[in-house]
A and B are shown apart, each in its own frame.
Chain A
Amino acid sequence: MTQPLVTVNDLRIGAVTDAGRKVEIIRGVSFEIAPGEIVALIGESGSGKTTIALSLMGYTRTGCSITGGQITLDQTDVTALSERKRAALRGTEVSYVPQSAAAAFNPSKRIMDQVIEITAIHELMPKAEAEAKAVDLFRALALPDPEHIGHRYPHQVSGGQLQRLSAAMALIGGPKLVIFDEPTTALDVTTQIEVLRAFKSVMQQGGMAGVYVSHDLAVVAQIADRIIVLKGGEIQETGTTEQILTHPAHPYTRQLLAAFEPVPHVSFQPEAKAVPKPILEVIHLHAGYGAIRKGEPEIKILKDVNFSLERGRNLGVIGESGSGKSTLARAIAGILPPYQGGILLDGQELRGDLKRRSKEQLRKAQIVFQLADTALNPAHSIEQILGRPLAFYHGLKGAAREARVKELLDMVRLPANLRHRLPGELSGGQKQRINLARALAAEPELILCDEITSALDTVVAAAILDLLKELQRELSLSYMFISHDLSTVEAICDDVLVMLKGEVVEALPAARMSAEAQHPYSRLLISSIPQLDTGWLAQLEQDLTLVAQFANR
């Protein structure tokens, strides 16, 4: 066997918390990477996958430090180097493709200057030569207008293009190892495909080794040779991609794979009512942002949206970024008053503006936002957070309120003693449960869920979906479930609306979605979802004109 390019031996990384406590976040991790091999680090948030990947560059984030073990990169002991020598490795021997290229490009500098900066820092080649090499890389990464795209500023190109440009930035110094840190997580599914394809082809051409950090097994299956499954800073299982996908040995790996199994949604049937009055009806809804001139806002988002949601049923709204799905939720919730059209809640006409709706109407429809981190006031205890809607809608005080807070916590399957904590002291999944409990406190009939599982790890997200279903049975709720993720929508919804650029392009039952979707954009969306099959990307054939027409590039 050839000499491995990277050897990591019993790596330990410690962190000092804000309170000054020392914790070990990587606990004795060992693995090897052969030249030209792509190894995936798979795990949930907090598993230490990014920390390990960054340590291969001799870099740890503020507050962390390598406390033990050895990292050898091409026979150099990275852990023993001085900071100056480590800096000399970065960009030349090992380079980095960031999670969000949109954030990793300096907004005030031209793309080309940033792409070739590595050659300037390490004095690798003259500027003209570096620019020529960059243009070659742009071409290899299938970027449009490779000659001139470098002259633009980062905000002038799309997210998918920026992500490929960041790969060019990583490859310009001719590294032996490239670290991909969740490079497609922030992209839409239709964009993800071509970015993955571009990465795969340049890596194969250059014969470079790679570390691909991700939480998404299906994405990793397309690009990695070997997979390392991490949890809590320890390796759970290592194996070839094929082996991990088909014969997972470790229970945790099986759990990860199980989250991919489609869960057929069994529709919830409330006691039959004489006349099933829809809980929510939306008629010719138009909404937008910006200054209003002649009764129409400057930027129109929603165009003529119509649907109705029967009591006890769930409606999924899917679409990619910019499709207007969140705007739809905001318009129904009254945060963004529509400029045309009507919203009927339980047969009653809703005023556009939140302030002009009655307390009873407000109580019936609650919204749960995507990021519990920003939706929960970090300075309020859980008891205060849940107590506020109880006091506002039901006038509960003192012991009665406390009892109800405990009940709500029990409803979302959290222990009652959590109520004295602050949001910052909870895990991501717990915070999202609190976020949900706050909506339940109003005793609503309809809950608008805006991407509530998108920021969660797959296993945690699956648990939240189960909770939503249970709550629906107990409380006769109806959900409007907004997501970009088809499988999530399929798992919980009865009907699906597919949105594109502010319009509903197709409405159909969720169960028959994959089989019967007619609209070309719906088909494109469905076909773009990565499958747990190593050959999926290679075999995928998409109509390029269709892609060009619909995808956000």
Chain B
Amino acid sequence: MPKSLLPWILVSQRLGIALLTLVIVSFAVFFATELLPGDVAEILLGQAATPEAVAGLRTAMGLDEPAMHRFVGWLVGLAGGDMGTSYVNKMAVSDLMGGRLVNSLRLAAVTTLVSVPIALALGIGAAMWKGSMFDRVVSVATISVISVPEFMVATLAVLIFAVWLGWLPALAYGANVDSWGAMLRAYAMPVITLSFVVSAQMIRMTRAAVIETINTPYVEMALLKGASRRRMVLGHALPNALGPIANAVALSLSYLVGGVIIVETIFNYPGVAKLMVDAVATRDLPLIQSCAMIFCVSYLSLITLADLIAILSNPRLRR
């Protein structure tokens, strides 16, 4: 096989694996939600429902068909973009999700834009001046941030910036976002809180990955060629640390879509995570399944992207 094709073969293999994972995950999601205690029909009809009415509703909703049958139908629908209808309010799941997903993605995007550059700069800087005061301050700070739970950070942020100082609105959503300044103010606190949570891990992983490559003979060689520390780290160490760094970043960012329930709740931010928790309370299976699938897709695409970066940045696969 021609060598130039090799990276693309690996890339398509990796994409194939991602697709397969998605199918397996959808299977798990569907049957896990099936196992949830409680019956939708009973919940919908309330305590006074007769068994006949419950059975009638179950037939009407298609709940008495075999699970496998419903799974295939659901999967085919998903593939075609049809996420089903909410059991609770008869709205299309896609309509329920649409706005929420945009909200979640917007928050995630702003947080990414803020946290990734800062985290990479701090991580690389700490590695470049390993053992210096700067490195120690960054290390202590990241460890403290990792150890403090996010609701602490969020609550403290509200207490300081909204209650004591009165600089920022306590609630993110519904605030006036007409002007750039107002939007910045509205997003400031959730973004700060989330950045704290996701950056710490990225900083530590970046530092570790860069330090590992700094200890290789070819980086020492760069120093012996008269290169400055800056050139040594940015020109020689960093390109070889891209793979692990991309993976660390992807893992941290994947948290931004699904794992932000606490932040969404504290700042009353209507994102997907909050929607899912509400859906669990009402046994709204199509909604739960769709939310779960959204989380999986975002997680999978980030991890796949990181792997693709790692594959394509491997010089051995280049021509």
Contact = CB atoms under 8 A, between A and B. Distances in A.
A90 B240 contact: no
Contacts of A54: 224
17 contacts: A57-B224, A61-B220, A87-B223, A87-B227, A87-B228, A91-B225, A96-B221, A103-B218, A106-B222, A106-B240, A108-B239, A117-B222, A117-B225, A118-B226, A121-B227, A153-B318, A155-B316
B236 interface: yes
Interface string B143-162: 00000000000000000000
Contact of A104 (B221, B316, B318): B221
Interface in A82-110: 87-92, 95-96, 98, 100, 103-109
A460 to B, nearest CB: 24
Given A98-B217, A104-B217, A153-B316, A118 B240 contact: no
Given A104-B218, A106-B236, A59 B223 contact: yes
B228 to A, nearest CB: 6
Interface in B209-237: 216-228, 231, 236
A44 B114 CA distance: 53
B224 A153 contact: no
Given A91-B226, A92-B226, A98-B224, 9 more contacts: A59-B223, A90-B223, A96-B224, A98-B217, A105-B218, A106-B239, A108-B240, A108-B315, A109-B236
B313 interface: yes
B226 A98 contact: no
Contacts of A96: 221, 224-225
A229 interface: no
A104 B222 CA distance: 9
A90 B226 contact: yes
Interface residues of A, number: 28
Contacts of A155: 315-316
A532 interface: no
A90 B225 contact: yes
B13 to A, nearest CB: 15
B225 A103 contact: no
A193 interface: no
Interface string B284-319: 000000000000000000000000000001011010
Given A108-B313, A153-B315, A155-B316, A103 B217 contact: yes
A122 interface: yes
A332 interface: no
Contacts of B221: 96, 98, 104-106
A57 B226 CA distance: 9
Nearest to A107: B315
A59 B224 contact: yes
Contacts of A91: 224-226
A109 B227 CA distance: 15
A305 B316 CA distance: 33
A169 B218 CA distance: 12
A153 to B, nearest CB: 5
A170 to B, nearest CB: 9
B286 to A, nearest CB: 44
A520 B225 CA distance: 42
A108 B236 CA distance: 8
